[in-house]
Amino acid sequence: MKFTVSEIAQMLDGTIVGDEKITINSAAKIEEGQPGCISFLANSKYEAFIYTTQSSAVIVNKDFAPKKEVAATLIYVENAYTAFTILLEEYQKRLSRIKTGVEQPSFIGENSKLGDDCYRGAFSYIGKNCIIGDDVKIYPHAYLGDNVSIGAGSVIHPGVRIYDNTVIGKCCTIFANTVIGGDGFGFAPQSDGSYKTIPQLGNVIIEDDVSIGSNTTIDCATMGSTIIRQGVKIDNLVQIAHNVEIGKNTVIAAQSGISGSTTVGEQCIIAGQVGVVGHITIANNTKIGAQSGLGKSIKKEGLSLSGSPARDLNEHLRSMALVRRLPEMEERLKDLESKHETSDFQEPVKQP
């Protein structure tokens, strides 16, 4: 996909200084630019690069005054960083719009319906009675079971597995090989030591604007629904167990796990490799530090927690600092003890 500098300037409401007919086919950091690339300069720390960059065009803030000659065409805008982001988004949007139609072979079950401008990649599988909205992109090797519904504008990447009865909202993105709606991990112990499988009959509901990374797993509910609320962002290799609910706009980083029947509030931030036990409730705006293990409900909003078991971040840091100083503390303890021994020894002397 190619744009001219003139088209880009129009898109960004910018002013051009230099050749407006140059063709742009890629974006790059200003220090790594090549001919055909567009870059941006927002932070004056990087200004030196604008005089040497190989990029064909650079987006700059409207108050930028070059101190030397600049080879690249400049596009002056209100805010260079924001403008660059808008440009990248537009590029992505156009790119994704390119994929439409059906590649063969692909499979679609009876009574399943797709909206306009959808893409179905080769080897994609759609079960029975599915309802797929407009502009939905289903990449190669994606699997949708029966009775799945997907809202308009969502993108299902290669190898994603979506089990029966899953409901996915609008403008969601699910990255490769993520599994939505596998059975919750529920087994009833039997008297002979074996375990009997507890049937998992619920489903997963994912609301609008949710993003889910690669190789993540979200289990269906035993009964009812596992629910991922609007705007939630989930990273790679995350585990969301059965009957969990993740509140609006909460962010969960890679390799974290939320155990069964736990409710996470809105606007929470859960860092990487965190573990959360089952059957608890976490208040809105809670922040949980990387590798923490949360074992009980958090009722107060806005706390920052860390450690395993997780507690107040500052208290945790203070304790960790003292753990590091334990050898020193023990020395001090020994020291006191030896003084006491001495004084014990002296006591008979004192007593009389």
Binding mask 153-192 for its own copies (x = CB under 8 A): ----xxx-x-x---------x-xxx-x--xx-x-xx----
**Residue in 242, 279, 316, 340 annotated catalytic:** 242
Smallest CA-to-CA distance from 24 within 39, 7, 40, 2 is with: 2
List the interface residues with its own copies, window 303-342 (CB under 8 A): 308-309, 311, 315, 318-320, 322-324, 326-327, 329-330, 332-333, 336-337, 339-340
Helix ranges (H only) for the chain are 5-12, 47-50, 80-98, 313-324, 326-350
Q: How far is the CB of 39 from its own copies (least distance, A)?
A: 9
Omega cis (within 30) before 158:
no
User: Any catalytic annotation for residue 242?
Assistant: yes
- Distance CA(117)–CA(267), nearest Å, equals 33
Which position among 132, 154, 204, 209 is part of the footprint of its own copies (CB under 8 A)?
209
- Tokens for 324, please give them: 């590091």
Q: How far is the CB of 13 from its own copies (least distance, A)?
A: 19
For residues 116 and 295, which CB has a smaller minimum distance to its own copies in the complex? 295
List the interface residues with its own copies, window 90-119 (CB under 8 A): 91-92, 103, 105, 107
List the interface residues with its own copies, window 36-75 (CB under 8 A): none
Q: How far is the CB of 331 from its own copies (least distance, A)?
A: 11
Q: How far is the CB of 177 from its own copies (least distance, A)?
A: 5
For residues 20 and 103, which CB has a smaller minimum distance to its own copies in the complex? 103
Q: Taking each helix axis from N to C terminus, what angle separates 313-324 and 326-350, rounded to the nearest 10 degrees?
A: 60
Q: Report the chain's C-alpha Rg in angstroms.
A: 29
List the interface residues with its own copies, window 236-295 (CB under 8 A): 236-237, 239, 241, 248-249, 251, 253-255, 257, 259, 266-267, 272-273, 275, 277, 290-291, 293
Neighbours of 254 (CB within 10 A): 17
- What is the 8-class DSSP label of residue 193? S
For residues 73 and 165, which CB has a smaller minimum distance to its own copies in the complex? 165
CA atoms within 13 A on the CB side of 328: 5
Count, residues near its own copies per rule CB under 8 A: 98
- Distance CA(291)–CA(169), nearest Å, equals 31
The residue range among 3-11, 23-31, 45-53, 67-75 that interacts with its own copies, by the rule CB under 8 A, is 23-31
Smallest CA-to-CA distance from 198 within 243, 251, 264 is with: 243
- Is 211 one of the binding residues for its own copies (CB under 8 A)? yes
> Amino acid identity of 103?
E
DSSP for 41-86 reads E-SGGGHHHHTT---SEEEEETT---SS---SEEEEES-HHHHHHH
Residues assigned a catalytic role: 242
